[in-house]
Amino acid sequence: MIVYFSGTGNSRYIAKSIANINKQKLINMGELLKYKKDLPENPSGIYVFVAPMYAWKLPRIVESFIRREKFNKGSKAYFVLTAGLANGNANKSIYELCAEKGIECLGCACITMPENYIALYSAPSPEKEKQIIAKADKAIISFAKAIAQNKPFKDTPPSPMGFLLSTIVNDVFYKFIVKDRKFWANDNCIGCGICEKACMLNNIKLVDGKPKWLEQCTHCMACINLCPKQAINYGKGTIKKRRYYLE
């Protein structure tokens, strides 16, 4: 079973690719979160969790989801993370989470995908985007083969900087950055409601035809990148930035 969490399409793209190669069931964690549902039964007991890396670590919303789910004895899991920058040391907390849930972790892989966190960074040009995805496709095939053969991934040893990024920097990121108060919609907004539908945490409601954020944001960037009129911004720094969404 392939379970993915994706705001702008990177992790969904990888999850779909692995599912197609290995003929496995694909589950959208975002929909389960939005409609408060649990994971379906998984007779094989093997899970492949695909998610972005938030501040060099598994997103806390994904950790919380896994922590609250029930897994059968003998369950195993692979983790495939997407990142636009350095990998950090996400492995440590993932192994700890699996141990807590009684899941055998078969390894953590990281695949570089186009940058989508436009709240702080810039999305690549269309040309660069294609190059990054083409390189990622080769890595996806390699990991999919390992999964098909039930072979553990070879974990990358963490660096001292990776440890720092996934601990202290991650804590600072969630404490000071992961807030929705800087999101706003300009006069280009047509009240289409796409942002409201896209929000996996039901954190956006249309009020008088404009989106209102309800202080439960995880910074998945779905709303800002999916807006068809580029009306949603994060502060002033995103006004002229290219949006990114991978179908």
pLDDT tens profile 81-111: 998 766 678 888 999 999 999 999 999 999 9
pTM: predicted TM-score of the whole model, two decimal places: 0.95
Q: Which residues lie closer than 8 Å to 96 by C-beta, 6 or more apart?
A: none
Domain range holding 188? 179-234
Q: What is the rounded end-to-end Cα distance, in angstroms, of the chain?
A: 21
One domain for residues 155 and 191:
no
Write down the pLDDT at residue 31.
98
**Final residue in a domain of this structure, among 136, 151, 174:** 174
Structural domain contains residue 219: yes
One domain for residues 117 and 18:
yes
One domain for residues 110 and 168:
yes
Confidence of residue 221 (pLDDT cuts 50, 70, 90): very high
Q: What percent of the chain has pLDDT over 70?
A: 98
One domain for residues 40 and 146:
yes
One domain for residues 86 and 151:
yes
One domain for residues 206 and 127:
no
Write down the pLDDT at residue 235.
97
One domain for residues 132 and 196:
no
CATH number at residue 183: 3.30.70.20
One domain for residues 13 and 92:
yes
Write down the pLDDT at residue 174.
94
One domain for residues 194 and 124:
no
Dmax over CA atoms of the chain, in Å, equals 54
Structural domain contains residue 239: no
pLDDT digits (tens, 9 = 90+) for 17-38: 999 999 999 999 999 999 999 9
Structural domain contains residue 230: yes
Report residue 12: phi and psi, to 5°: -65, -40
Structural domain contains residue 240: no
Mean pLDDT rounded to a whole number for the chain: 94
pLDDT digits (tens, 9 = 90+) for 59-74: 999 999 999 999 999 9
| Residue matched to tokens 């990114």 | 244
One domain for residues 170 and 185:
no
One domain for residues 78 and 136:
yes
pLDDT digits (tens, 9 = 90+) for 133-180: 999 999 999 999 999 999 999 877 767 777 778 888 889 999 999 999
E-strand ranges in 55-207 read 76-83, 104-112, 183-185, 204-207
For residue 233, the cross-strand partners are 184
One domain for residues 165 and 187:
no
Total domains present in the chain: 2
